[in-house]
Structure 1
Amino acid sequence: MGEVPMKKEEIVSIEEAIAMSATEVEKNYRQNINPNFVTLLKLLGLNKKFIRAEGTKVWDDEGKEYIDFLGAYGALNLGHNHLEIIEALKKISNLPNLLQTTINPITTALAKNLSIITPGDLKYSFFCNSGAEAVEGALKLAKIATGKSGIIYCKGSFHGKSMGALSVTGRDKYKKYFGPLVPFGIEVPYGDQYQLEKAMIDGKDNIAAFIIEPIQGEAGIITPPAGYLKKVKELCNKYNILMIADEVQTGLGRTGNWFACQEEEVVPDILCMAKALGGGIMPIGAYIANETTWKRGYGTIDKCLLHTSTFGGNTWACTAGLATIEVINKEGLHCRAKEKGDYFLNQLNQLKKDYPLLKDVRGKGLMIGIEFAEINLPIINKFVSLDQKIILEEYVGGMIASQLSNEYQIITAYTLNNPNVIRVEPPLTITIKEIDYFVESLEKILKQNKKFGGMAKETIKNVFSSFRRQREA
């Protein structure tokens, strides 16, 4: 058989990709990735082309400087393009990156450091490429270590969109099209120790683990009642169930400790991490388990390779992980995150007293959720379809994020499970001056939208802009 001929278009080079105009970028995204996501971004006025990034700042193709208060959903604890991470990668650029027939010293060093900074007796690490993969591995370890199948998880939780992680994610919107999912999942309310214990009793001898986020990220930055995590661990011990802490967003200093569960001196049986571990440069995920759990699962030669990852533990990713831990430790960024977060939350709570549109402020350290009241803008009904109206009413957080970006050059975004909440997860290197600027800018928006008129005007402008760009594309 002959070769299949290539399509007529020329292959795009790196140089050409860098030089693309915003219009070309949007066209390619519409035609080759996800056209409806472009529509949503444009509807909310969040589409930009950024051409440079450093620390807490990014610059668009018009030369405007923005402060990044989103931090890639908690992946940029050290900010953009941190020089020490880049310099560390240069040191290992000649080493083998992928070589499965030997033991990699960089990988073992990172595993050793994780055993030092994680709580209690956590010891054995498995490396992968993302938070979802870390969760998948943790769920598998729990099942093989206990010989049980059931997993308890929380309503509103988000653990990833791969099949196992999705099965223990607590929002039906992401699950309903992909059934049947992994069976024997049990959903309980977040923060309710009594419903959790009931589920453990009802599950009898089939519950392998309870997986929990110390702070629910995508649910809208939801913090549990004080003492809840400690009670969770006590219940897991009582009913011989493993506790899995999903610290993909909360880990590596985000909430004021290396890991959020350390605030209550809780030691889970398995702890998942990712995002910030790569220093904002490399994709890397991991879970770490105590010796007993690990050996029950994979502690024999015939079982030690039942769960593997081709790119997991590669030299470049683990070097970024080593450098990230070194920078956080050297600069005390995890401790400073608590101080800055307390200051930030206090400032935001002052605004809450004066502006009813600001419904709630919550979080710990530099993981903060700002929830806005739902709005109804009758004037928009004249210009949009019913589906678009529903989107606009649901995505109040997105509209606020749009104004922060377009008027004040501040980057934020809404949370997946509650779009009326914008998340604030800036680099841990954010300054008090930058925090003050955020609060001042948000107050100006709240004043402008006291009767929602400013938001209506901005939204209609974005709607028409979106429709015009769609026709042009």
Structure 2
Amino acid sequence: MKIQDLIQNRSRENFSLHDKYLNSQMVKVLKTIDFDRHYVRAQGAYLFDDQDNRYLDLLSGFGVFALGRNHPKIIEALESTLKADLPNLVQLDVSLLSGLLAEKLVKLTPDGLNRVFFANSGTETVEAAIKFSRYATGKSKVIFCHGCYHGLSLGSLSATGDDHYKKGFGPLVPDFIEIPFNDLEALEQALAQEDVAAFITEPIQGHGVWIPDDDYLPEAAALARKYGVVFIVDEIQTGLGRTGKWWAVEHWSVEPDIVCISKTLSGGFVPVGALVCKEWIFDRVFNRMDRAVVHGSTFGKNNLAMAAGLATLEVLESENLIEHAAYTGTAIMDALTPLTEQYECLKEVRGKGMMIALEFAEPTKSLSLKLSWKMLEAANKGLFSQLITVPLFRRHQILSQVAGRGMNIVKFIPPLILTESDVQWIVSAVNDVVASAHRGPAAVWDFGKVLATRALRAKLHA
């Protein structure tokens, strides 16, 4: 079977196939907001549709494509691995490539982390972190933060601070306790019960791009040590250069007990996750020969994933992408921040590196803008942000996302490889769509017509 022939012969069937066999609701969403394009190729930070239109991808697969799409060095590594006829997943064996990737990760992660567990995804690394913490401490409770996102499998879902994802999937795993993010007093009160195995947090919350106070993470780590609690940091999205440093915790000089890694490590090709932890945790879990396989992942150490991970780390270093992410992200934010003085709905531009949020809020001066805001919020909470993302895509061919359910926050998590012309593309487009959104009822009316027309079309073709 030739995949290229198959793709060519059935290239325009993707929406009908998904509507029939996969998630039909996602098809309806894409058609309603006019995001239903037929992408035919991708290169670096760009997507191309069947009309050869070029799109700038500021979503990057929810942060997977930090190196851009189809990076030649990752392809070369995967091709050479496939051609090597290596033994793969022997299971009653230990593979070389997984050992080499583990060695590299230990050198790059914060001091004191020297054991590695490989899985297939970020949510699997969170599951492993929960299990390891419970076994290593002999305690059961896990503290997590409101608004956080750690995954959708049952354990990671139990540690996710958004009830939207949990509704109807209960009962969840017991002994998970939610506290506010960036609240040291609440954290200490929870930890003081002395029955807590772990505290898990994102250094920067992905849903909303919420950045903690400067003392929060260092003090949280100190509190975890004080009460004998494992401090788990979820760097699945923030890690590997996303925030302008190898790890987001480096912004605050924090040394966690466990770091969860995924997304970027894949190079954009092969699913992979890695948990890196302190030796004492690992040694308590795998403490006897009969416990050597007490926790594992069948495909976790497969050769293609390990090769992709090794190549990804090499590219990040050799192309200076982490320094580039810090510089370029700052350039974008510096160019957009003055808009907060010009447009009253734009409350804040914030972020670190290539993790950027534009937060919008109800205007306080213009009556027409207040009316527009209330109309949109009455229809659907967080809908104003679609006045930004939809025209960014339709008029400027920039793919972006709302930062979380019900939020008026637009989030950019682009590839780390953006050029100066890409930065100008973003700045010019944001200027245009933010200005248009401030036209008041006229903007809402135009937006409503687009959504209504597309929704009707989607329904007719259902």
| Same fold flag (TM > 0.5) | yes
Q: Which amino acid aligns with 1:365?
A: G
Q: What's the offset of the Cα at 1:369?
A: 1.2
Please state whether the residue corresponding to 2:251 is helix, strand or coil: helix
* More off after superposition, 327-336 vs 132-141: 327-336
- The 2-side partners of 1:344 and 1:331 are apart by 20
Unmatched 5+ residue regions in structure 2? Answer: 363-368
- The 1-side partners of 2:211 and 2:330 are apart by 15
- Which of residues 65, 72, 76 is equivalent to 2:61? 72
Q: What's the offset of the Cα at 1:422?
A: 1.7
Q: Which amino acid aligns with 2:307?
A: T
Structure-2 residue corresponding to 1:249 = 237
The TM-score normalised by the length of structure 2 is: 0.93
Is residue 6 of structure 2 the alignment partner of residue 16 of structure 1? yes
Kindly report the root-mean-square deviation, in angstroms, between the aligned alpha carbons of the 2 structures: 2.2
Structure-2 residue corresponding to 1:270 = 258
- The 2-side partners of 1:180 and 1:52 are apart by 43
Is residue 155 of structure 2 the alignment partner of residue 167 of structure 1? no
4+ residue segments displaced more than 4 Å: 11-14, 374-381
The question of whether the paired residues in 2 share the 8 Å contact of 1:46 and 1:405 is answered with yes
Structure-2 residue corresponding to 1:134 = 125
- Which of residues 312, 319, 324 is equivalent to 2:312? 324
- Which of residues 190, 198, 207 is equivalent to 1:209? 198
The question of whether the paired residues in 1 share the 8 Å contact of 2:326 and 2:353 is answered with yes
- Which of residues 302, 305, 316 is equivalent to 2:293? 305
Structure-2 residue corresponding to 1:152 = 143
- The 2-side partners of 1:464 and 1:377 are apart by 23
- The 2-side partners of 1:122 and 1:25 are apart by 44
The question of whether the paired residues in 2 share the 8 Å contact of 1:167 and 1:181 is answered with yes
- The 2-side partners of 1:397 and 1:411 are apart by 14
Q: What's the offset of the Cα at 1:69?
A: 1.3
The question of whether the paired residues in 2 share the 8 Å contact of 1:233 and 1:266 is answered with yes
The question of whether the paired residues in 1 share the 8 Å contact of 2:387 and 2:437 is answered with no
| Superposed CA offset, 1:252-289 (max 9, x none) | 11111111111222111010010000111111111111
Residues 472 and 380 (structure 1), Cα distance of their counterparts in 2 relative to 1, 3 Å cut: farther
Q: Which amino acid aligns with 2:133?
A: A
| Superposed CA offset, 1:53-96 (max 9, x none) | 00111101111011111111111110000000000111110323
Residues 352 and 81 (structure 1), Cα distance of their counterparts in 2 relative to 1, 3 Å cut: same
Please state whether the residue corresponding to 1:52 is helix, strand or coil: strand
Q: Which amino acid aligns with 2:89?
A: L
- Which of residues 366, 370, 374 is equivalent to 2:354? 366
Residues 176 and 376 (structure 1), Cα distance of their counterparts in 2 relative to 1, 3 Å cut: farther
* More off after superposition, 162-171 vs 461-470: 461-470
Please state whether the residue corresponding to 1:400 is helix, strand or coil: helix
Structure-1 residue corresponding to 2:24 = 35
Unmatched 5+ residue regions in structure 1? Answer: 1-10
* More off after superposition, 11-20 vs 138-147: 11-20
- The 1-side partners of 2:67 and 2:407 are apart by 26
Q: Which amino acid aligns with 1:20?
A: R
- Which of residues 162, 177, 183 is equivalent to 2:174? 183
Q: What's the offset of the Cα at 1:430?
A: 0.6
Structure-1 residue corresponding to 2:269 = 281
- Which of residues 279, 293, 296 is equivalent to 1:291? 279
Q: Which amino acid aligns with 1:106?
A: L
Is residue 355 of structure 2 the alignment partner of residue 405 of structure 1? no
Structure-2 residue corresponding to 1:8 = none
Q: What's the offset of the Cα at 1:12?
A: 12
The question of whether the paired residues in 2 share the 8 Å contact of 1:153 and 1:187 is answered with yes
Q: Which amino acid aligns with 2:309?
A: G
Structure-2 residue corresponding to 1:87 = 76
Please state whether the residue corresponding to 2:244 is helix, strand or coil: coil
- The 2-side partners of 1:379 and 1:111 are apart by 50
Please state whether the residue corresponding to 2:56 is helix, strand or coil: strand
- The 1-side partners of 2:374 and 2:177 are apart by 41
Structure-1 residue corresponding to 2:213 = 225
Please state whether the residue corresponding to 1:92 is helix, strand or coil: helix
- The 1-side partners of 2:79 and 2:256 are apart by 35
- The 1-side partners of 2:373 and 2:410 are apart by 24
Structure-2 residue corresponding to 1:346 = 334
Please state whether the residue corresponding to 1:110 is helix, strand or coil: helix
- Over the matched positions of the two proteins, sequence identity in percent amounts to 38
Structure-2 residue corresponding to 1:4 = none
Q: Which amino acid aligns with 1:195?
A: A
The question of whether the paired residues in 2 share the 8 Å contact of 1:270 and 1:290 is answered with yes
Structure-2 residue corresponding to 1:457 = 446
Is residue 276 of structure 2 the alignment partner of residue 314 of structure 1? no
Structure-1 residue corresponding to 2:246 = 258
- The 1-side partners of 2:72 and 2:282 are apart by 36
Q: Which amino acid aligns with 1:196?
A: L
- The 2-side partners of 1:418 and 1:470 are apart by 24
Q: Which amino acid aligns with 1:272?
A: C
- The 1-side partners of 2:194 and 2:327 are apart by 44
| Superposed CA offset, 1:294-315 (max 9, x none) | 1122232122211111100100
- Which of residues 432, 436, 441 is equivalent to 2:424? 436
Q: What's the offset of the Cα at 1:379?
A: 12
Please state whether the residue corresponding to 1:353 is helix, strand or coil: helix
The question of whether the paired residues in 1 share the 8 Å contact of 2:78 and 2:304 is answered with yes
The question of whether the paired residues in 2 share the 8 Å contact of 1:42 and 1:462 is answered with no
Structure-2 residue corresponding to 1:426 = 414
The question of whether the paired residues in 2 share the 8 Å contact of 1:74 and 1:275 is answered with yes
Please state whether the residue corresponding to 1:96 is helix, strand or coil: coil
The TM-score normalised by the length of structure 1 is: 0.91
* More off after superposition, 367-376 vs 275-284: 367-376
Report how many residues are paired: 453
| Superposed CA offset, 1:404-449 (max 9, x none) | 1110011111123444222111111111221121011111111222
Q: What's the offset of the Cα at 1:118?
A: 0.2
- The 1-side partners of 2:227 and 2:25 are apart by 46
Please state whether the residue corresponding to 1:51 is helix, strand or coil: strand
The question of whether the paired residues in 2 share the 8 Å contact of 1:66 and 1:410 is answered with yes
